[in-house]
Amino acid sequence: MTKSKSSEKTPPPAISNRKARHDYHVLETMVAGIALKGPEVKSLRLGKASLQDSFARVDKGEIFLHNMHINPYAFTHHADLAPTRQRKLLLHKQEIRKLEGRVQEKGLTLIPLEIYFNNDGIAKVLLAVAKGKLAPDKRADIKKHDLEREARREFRGKTKF
């Protein structure tokens, strides 16, 4: 028996921090769980969140995500939650110690790159250890992308069989 396409569930959209790769050099990534309340999960499933200007910080052996904005779910009957409250990230102790050691190096920070739901329907955060880019680095990246785009345009018309 096969399922029809109309009955298949589409995964909820991933929320990404598109500006993060423009502003930072990503050195290492790690997947972490995130502690959320019920209405927050529903808002995330609808794609009503923003990772812009968000960051993670190690505090007393735990990692918290700061400045992540989740719009309040419209149909909730619970007390309103603060949209930018700090949220706990779920990692093993050895992973937290490893990230804490990396962040203590000069100029490194923890930033979320993406929030998505895995196959089991659990919200996950793709966390990155990153170093801030300077203005010349950003200009060089833009120039590199422009050159690659022009090369793709030129090859597009010449590779016909």
* Residues 15-133, CATH architecture: Beta Barrel (2.40)
Close Cβ partners of 89 (under 8 Å, ≥ 6 residues apart): 32, 33, 34, 35, 56, 62, 63, 64, 65, 125, 127
What's the confidence (pLDDT) of residue 63?
Answer: 93
Residue 126's Cβ-side half-sphere holds a number of Cα atoms within 13 Å equal to 17
pLDDT by position in tens, the chain (length 161): 455 454 456 666 688 888 888 888 889 899 999 998 888 888 888 888 888 889 999 988 899 999 998 888 888 776 677 888 889 999 999 999 998 888 888 888 899 999 998 888 888 999 999 888 888 878 888 888 898 998 888 887 776 55
Residue 129 CB neighbours (<10 A) = 21
Dist CA 28 CA 84 (whole Å): 25
Dist CA 146 CA 142 (whole Å): 6
Dist CA 137 CA 38 (whole Å): 41
Which of 146, 144, 132, 147 has the alpha carbon at shortest distance from 21?
A: 132
Domain ranges of the chain: 15-133
Identify the sign of the CA torsion 43, 46, 50, 55: positive
What's the confidence (pLDDT) of residue 135?
Answer: 80
Angle subtended at Cα 151 by Cα 145 and Cα 155, rounded to the nearest 5 degrees: 145
